[in-house]
Amino acid sequence: MTGDFQVPPAFVQALRQHQSYLLVSHVGLDGDHLGSMLALQQALTIMGKRVVAYLPESIPASLSRILYGLENTSAELPDEKFDAVVALECPTLGRMPKGFEPRKMAPLLLNFDHHQDNENYGDINWVLPEVAALGEMTFELIQHLDVPLDRSMATALYVAVLTDTGSFQYSRVTPATHRRLASMLQAGVATDEVSRSVYRNSTPNVLKLLGRMLNDLTVDERDGVCVAWAEITQKSLDEYSVRPEEIQFFVDELDRVEQADVVVLVREAPGGKIKASIRSRNHPINQVAAIFGGGGHSRAAGVTTDGKISEIRKALVDAVHTELTKLTKA
């Protein structure tokens, strides 16, 4: 797999011919859609377009310290119409922010994603599930728009690819991924500053909470399938004065368990919600997430649902065992 792909001419033309764009992404902020959104907003602005990046979620300091252009995003939905809505990394309309109805905001909807469960709901759909990060697609799109890559855009795209590939470790990282990264570095990305901010800038309380989680993790092995799981309650977050966005990397630490086929991190969220992150090493796991109304990539998926944390965790872990047992015995 070389990682080369074509940018649809219709997608490029749609971004050239109109004058106003509203950018939106899925709920549950991550570095890939944030970096891609900022880079695309800056590129379209350079082209003379009017662009609003709708971002109703808080941004963790690990990202806000290093990304440019956040002051140009809007936490409030604009009370105006646009020529087009660009949906970045939204596999379904239901993953968009609460109350957001794209058809009321613009007559044209562009769907731009790399999730394999994308429902192709746009007027123009550009969906590449084999691509490691949306940041790679955004990089190629900006090249086709003939906008020179500056340090600001390059940093945003580098953060996008870095965070969605586990620091370039996942199997969908290709030679082309690294060629794109090389272009970003040539544009002036300070890789040491980015790495420090994203991965090595936690408060002592965040690390103490991580220690508690790792101390309490459970390894559940049945019929040759091993699942490592952990729970984080709202009480624990409050006790350590830790915000949810500060623990996004916890699932990666859980993924250190040597024999685990799958890791599951379940936490309580505001409003009585339960959020779960699921990571698999060798088998597709997004279908398990779909059972609970979630989704994602083949080996990295998420769930947001209602219920009690222990009950949701047990149901998730049981579903993982059931699915992987079927796959391994097939």
**Structural domains of the chain, ranges and CATH numbers in brackets:** 9-199 (3.90.1640.10), 204-329 (3.10.310.30)
For the chain, state the CA radius of gyration.
Answer: 20
Quote the pLDDT of residue 129: 93
What is the pTM for the complete model shown?
Answer: 0.90
- Mean per-residue pLDDT over the chain, rounded: 93
pLDDT value of residue 116: 87
What confidence category does residue 177 fall into, taking pLDDT thresholds of 50, 70 and 90? very high
User: Of 57, 89, 48, 19, which Cα lies nearest the Cα of 248?
Assistant: 57
Q: Which is nearest to 224 in space by CA: 324, 80, 153?
A: 324
pLDDT for position 2: 55
pLDDT of 114-143, one tens digit each? 998 899 999 999 999 999 999 999 999 999
Tell me the C-alpha distance between 200 and 62, whole Å.
Answer: 9
In terms of Cβ atoms closer than 10 Å to its own Cβ (0-12, 13-18, 19+), residue 46 is middle
Confidence at residue 3, expressed as pLDDT on a 0 to 100 scale: 67
